[in-house]
Amino acid sequence: MDAWQAGMQRISSLVAEQLENVQQPFSGITPEALRPAFAELDLETPLENLEAGLEELQSLYLKDAVYFHHPRYIAHLNCPVVLPGVWAESLLGAINSSLDTWDQSAGGTLIEQRLIDWTTERLGLGPTADGIFTSGGTQSNLMALLLARDAVCEKLPNHPGNQTHGLPPEAGRLRVFASGISHFSLQKACALLGLGHNAVVPVAVDERRRMDPIALREALDKARAEGLIPMAVVGTAGTTDFGSIDPLQAIGRECHARGIWFHVDGAYGGGLITSRRHGHWLKGVEMADSVTIDYHKTFFQPVSCSACVVRDRTQLRHVTYHADYLNPELQAREGTPDQVNKSLQTTRRFDALKLWLTLRLMGADALGDMLDCVIDLTREGHQLLAAAPDIDVVQAPELSTLVFRFHDANEDTLSDAQWDALNREIRKRLSRSGEAIVAATKVSGRQYLKFTLLNPDTTRDDIAAVVDLIRQHGQALVKAHHLAVSTTAQAGHGAPLADIPAASRRSHTTEAKESRHA
């Protein structure tokens, strides 16, 4: 115990020192620069003490880590984390409960179950709802589609069930319907479920990039006419790129009328259940048969912390297997709450403790207020981007993402392909300078940049500063392009360059520093 306490104090001091001295979200190091340090390591020879191990970690990891709490990290769906969640991580790591059976977790089982009940209550799924904590949205979506697949297949004539006899001949006709910009984990899930990527049918979206209910109805009718079997419809509550929330109520009505499993992927937008101002955006989620929700996104919890919940707890039987040494059927009949009975995993971390301690110390309203804060900030960011003459914004925000690109309307010498290459290079240069981290995506085949705002400490000034950095890099690249074209013409070659000139790709860190000095 003395060693544990001393080690925790030393680690706590190291983390505090590191976080207090973070000046930017990333060092800008490249894989090529960092990889040699790992190649030289001898994992067969242990270090002499904790201090040596921490010094090595400082060099190999902490120095070049990407810091999501920094206000200019605005790239992916990574949130800064609340203190109760961090404290809980230390506690659950030391006790090391496994949440598969009661005799390995006891009170941990009931804490997790109470949080599942709290989640389903907030979603409005009704008294028969249940669920389980998972590693993340990808696993939750996989589990939901597995339940949907087996629920459909058990209704087929002369099929005793997938659990015992595998997939029926009709499996090749099963289809999952989701918007054309839904998460790629649906394709991965269908591949793992033996259905293949092509089992996911993309449904058209409207001008706000939400699933079009009329297009869904037409797609379902077409599938039936072709002899296909609609297995599930997935409504997305917060698409990764645009934060768009599908019309869940209209989709739910369509599914209920046809007897089709309705799954809501709320990995991103699920945190709206804590919002006092925007919770109504999830109207219709109460009609879902299953819901994916990621607490490690819009609930500000450390990774990993997620759940898959279902309206009808009896559907969880499709993932149940009774092992005599672990969770014998007799225990289930006696009422022992073995969580493994409803989980894809066996051994599971006590991730629920993070959310539990957060709710007990902060309350749900505090989390909702943080989410409302970043939603407001995103609207301010959109106003800033929309007012810039050299920024092309795709659309007004839905949740907390902004998709745009540097594109000077007065610059008519660059082709679309060159603007694509220029925006890719801008993102690369930002990352290599480490001053800001932004994401990227494609819209209608064209290259765009993306802000994902999940940090309540990020301000309008931070967004403006990042936009200025984007502009500086963009203008420098355009200038380099003109110089390269001029040089080529003087040499007797009149054709414009097809891409951003290689000559312009100087040291990103050096050029960023020069821009700041200028």
**CA dist., res. 452 & res. 77, Å (int):** 6
Same domain, 370 and 334: no
Same domain, 158 and 106: yes
- Domain annotation covers residue 486: yes
Same domain, 196 and 331: yes
Strand 229-236 versus strand 290-294 pairing type: unpaired
Kindly provide the b/e burial profile for residues 446-476, where b requires at least 16 CB atoms within 10 angstroms of the residue's own CB.
bbbbbbbbbbbebeeebbeebbebbbbbbeb
Residue whose pair of structure tokens reads 């296909």 in the numeric block: 228
Quick one: pLDDT at residue 172?
A: 97
Same domain, 287 and 246: yes
Domain boundary among 301, 335, 361: 361
Quick one: pLDDT at residue 412?
A: 85
Whether the CB-CB separation of 297 and 271 falls below 8 Å is answered with yes
DSSP string, 395-435: S--SSSEEEEEE--TT--SS-HHHHHHHHHHHHHHHHHHTS
Same domain, 211 and 350: yes
- Domain annotation covers residue 7: no
Q: What CA–CA distances, in Å, run from 335 to 131, 308, 339, 395, 477? A: 17, 22, 12, 52, 67
- Domain annotation covers residue 178: yes
- Domain annotation covers residue 67: no
**CA dist., res. 104 & res. 121, Å (int):** 27
Domain count, the chain: 2
Quick one: pLDDT at residue 373?
A: 98
Q: What are the percentages of helix, strand and coil residues in the chain, rounded to 5?
A: 50, 15, 35
Tokens standing for residue 143: 């589990």
Same domain, 209 and 301: yes
Quick one: pLDDT at residue 500?
A: 53
**CA dist., res. 418 & res. 432, Å (int):** 21
- Domain annotation covers residue 61: no
- Domain annotation covers residue 49: no
Task: Work out the mean pLDDT of the chain and round it to a whole number.
Answer: 94
Same domain, 181 and 295: yes
Same domain, 299 and 186: yes
Residue 240 has pLDDT above 90, yes or no: yes
Residue 354 has pLDDT above 70, yes or no: yes
Average pLDDT, integer, range 284-303: 98
- Domain annotation covers residue 464: yes
Whether the CB-CB separation of 437 and 72 falls below 8 Å is answered with yes
Same domain, 389 and 464: yes
Task: State the DSSP H helix or E strand holding residue 2, giving kind and residue range, or none if neither.
Answer: helix 2-20
pLDDT band at 491 (very low <50, low <70, confident <90, very high): low
Domain boundary among 311, 345, 361: 361
Same domain, 407 and 284: no
Which domain range does residue 382 map to? 366-517
Whether the CB-CB separation of 406 and 446 falls below 8 Å is answered with no
**CA dist., res. 333 & res. 338, Å (int):** 11
Residue 496 has pLDDT above 80, yes or no: no
Tokens standing for residue 5: 């306490």
For 294-313, write each residue's pLDDT tens digit: 999 999 999 999 999 999 99
Q: Fill in the DSSP letter of residue 211.
A: B
Residue 486 has pLDDT above 90, yes or no: no
Average pLDDT, integer, range 328-340: 97
For 449-463, write each residue's pLDDT tens digit: 999 999 999 999 999
Quick one: pLDDT at residue 487?
A: 76
Quick one: pLDDT at residue 515?
A: 39
For 403-428, write each residue's pLDDT tens digit: 999 999 888 889 999 999 999 999 99
In the 3-class helix/strand/coil scheme, how is 154-181 assigned residue by residue?
CCCCCCCCHHHHCCCHHHHHEEEEEECC
Same domain, 387 and 496: yes
Entry pTM:
0.93
Quick one: pLDDT at residue 167?
A: 97
**CA dist., res. 449 & res. 408, Å (int):** 15
Domain boundary among 297, 328, 361: 361
Same domain, 311 and 452: no
For 43-82, write each residue's pLDDT tens digit: 999 999 999 999 999 999 999 999 999 999 999 999 999 9
Quick one: pLDDT at residue 483?
A: 87
**CA dist., res. 92 & res. 357, Å (int):** 11
- Domain annotation covers residue 56: no
Average pLDDT, integer, range 120-127: 98
* CATH number (domain holding residue 350): 3.40.640.10
Quick one: pLDDT at residue 485?
A: 80
pLDDT band at 492 (very low <50, low <70, confident <90, very high): low
141 alpha carbon, distance to own chain's centre: 12
**CA dist., res. 294 & res. 132, Å (int):** 12
Average pLDDT, integer, range 232-255: 98
Share of the chain above pLDDT 90, in %: 91
Whether the CB-CB separation of 284 and 259 falls below 8 Å is answered with no
Average pLDDT, integer, range 81-110: 98
* CATH number (domain holding residue 509): 3.90.1150.170
